[in-house]
Structure 1
Amino acid sequence: MAASAAMDGVAAASFRSVLQRVQLAAERSGRPAQQIRLVAVSKTKPVSVIREVHDAGHRCFGENYVQELIEKAPQLPDDIEWHFIGNLQSNKVKPLVAGVPNLAYVETVDDEKIANHLDRAVANIGRKPLKIFVQVNTSGETSKSGVEPAGCVDLVKHVRSCPNLEFCGLMTIGMPDYTATPENFKTLSDCRSEVCKELGISEEQCELSMGMSSDFELAPANFIILQIEMGSTNVRVGSTIFGAREYPKKQNQ
């Protein structure tokens, strides 16, 4: 590992550091590190940097923009597990599903319409079911996407009724203020309890994905511990791994 680390580029070395923090946080919370999925959020970053982290052993990457993901995916190894983590518009569903065969997760399903579009797109291609996180607006901010907590159970039921979708868990962005996020995360945890009770499933069958990667940058050590201690199984980290993002032009969602 020492020799490998010495040969790492900046992104690969940063990835290894973040992965170590995730593992330590899992141990501290009394959970196996294997239960925590690290999603390396690579939006605005070139294929060469993503490949560097892939070569360091990582396989789970997230993108926020449909067009960017469609352009990058064919240039990278097909063993990557892609997560779409941005706001998804109905007219972008078909090109996303068709253009990224190794798309594994969509983390931002916030209404039945998007679920139906995804279900039909997967059926038309004939690929394996797409894994879905239902996005919950836990902060009550009108600027944030997500189903209201009171509507969470009904949306989860709808996703589970779609034959080409596989419900995996709940996701929230929460408030941007690091100090305010625990309340939002508690709301998501409460939603999971309600969903599991209503559906008669165990909490292990409903993952949690909390916060935004920028939160991790604000207080990396404490924030990752907070997420994992509050039950997160899916941790999204962006610029801590890849460095500051650059937006040369407006992205198309």
Structure 2
Amino acid sequence: MATSAAMEASVVTSLRTVLQRVQQAAEKSGRRSDQVRVVAVSKTKPVSLIRRVYDDGHRCFGENYVQEIFDKAPQLPDDIEWHFIGHLQSNKAKSLLASVPNLAMVETVDDEKIADRLNRIVGDIGRKPLKVMVQVNTSGEESKFGVEPAACVELAKHVKLACPNLEFSGLMTIGMLDYTSTPENFRTLADCRTEVCKALDITEDQCELSMGMSGDFEQAIEMGSTNVRIGSTIFGAREYPKKETN
């Protein structure tokens, strides 16, 4: 997919605007902007646009699909911190970890099976411990992956205590069907963090909250998010291949 100079300039302007908005929201929450990580979600976007954002100084990018991160990561600098933020099937975990050595985090661990699989693979390939988050379904929608809020402590304990090759980093939620969340969704995840920190005897600083996307990241930050996943507000609307018609 070709990109024009205008498109490349536009993503840089958009990134800078997002970072300003993040700074303002962080200050409202009593924190510094460097206490909130911005994951630039490059789903469906070409390597040239990711490279332009990288050249402007950004280093953290996220992908929803294994195939996309396979295709893009080898074409880009190896100091990028990739976050996998989509549903990860067990049968694709090995190729993901082996093919993307600079994978920094999997944000979507939603059951013990995938946690055990990642733990085993990390040990087998001998890479450094992999940071993971436990995904929580805060909206109660059947279409969403993630553990029920009542089950997040058990899964977090499993990662922390039974998976030595994984580093428990926090909790993640996606939000409502339209990819915006209500304060209740954010409050639920914050409440989950309180319970997890108590159960694991860790501080809140040791349990990140990944919540907030393009439509609601400022509110999420004001309610304690430390990790926001922003795609279309930086890169523009996603472009999906048109389906062929007979």
The structure with the largest helix share of the pair is: 1
Equivalent position SS for 2:123: helix
Query: CA deviation digits over 1:8-40, x for unaligned, max 9?
Result: 711111111101110111112111111100000
Preserved contact between residue 11 and residue 49 of structure 1 (Cα < 8 Å): yes
Equivalent position SS for 2:134: strand
- For 2:174, the equivalent position in structure 1 comes to 173
* Residues 47-62 of structure 1 mapped to structure 2, 5 A cutoff: 47-62=47-62
Query: CA deviation digits over 1:193-232, x for unaligned, max 9?
Result: 0011111111111000113x3xx24xxxxx3331111110
- Give the deviation of 1:249 after TM superposition: 6.3
- For 1:247, the equivalent position in structure 2 comes to 240
Distance change >3 Å, CA 104–CA 178, structure 1 → 2? closer
- For 1:108, the equivalent position in structure 2 comes to 108
- For 1:203, the equivalent position in structure 2 comes to 204
CA distance in 2, matches of 1:204, 1:179: 25
- For 1:31, the equivalent position in structure 2 comes to 31
- For 1:232, the equivalent position in structure 2 comes to 225
- For 1:192, the equivalent position in structure 2 comes to 193
* Residues 35-114 of structure 1 mapped to structure 2, 5 A cutoff: 35-114=35-114
CA distance in 2, matches of 1:151, 1:204: 21
Aligned length, in residue pairs: 236
Query: CA deviation digits over 1:140-183, x for unaligned, max 9?
Result: 11110001111111100111121110000000012145785211
What TM-score do the two structures reach when normalised by structure 1?
A: 0.90
Equivalent position SS for 2:62: strand
Q: What stretches of structure 2 of length at least 5 have no aligned partner?
A: 1-5
Percent identity (aligned): 74
CA distance in 2, matches of 1:163, 1:81: 21
Preserved contact between residue 21 and residue 224 of structure 1 (Cα < 8 Å): no
Preserved contact between residue 211 and residue 217 of structure 2 (Cα < 8 Å): no
Distance change >3 Å, CA 248–CA 224, structure 1 → 2? same
Moved more, 84-93 or 180-189: 180-189
CA distance in 2, matches of 1:53, 1:154: 38
CA distance in 2, matches of 1:109, 1:50: 25
Which consecutive aligned stretches of 4+ in structure 1 deviate over 4 angstroms post-superposition? 177-180
- Give the letter aligned to residue 189 of structure 1: A
- Give the deviation of 1:121 after TM superposition: 1.1
Q: What stretches of structure 1 of length at least 5 have no aligned partner?
A: 1-5, 218-222
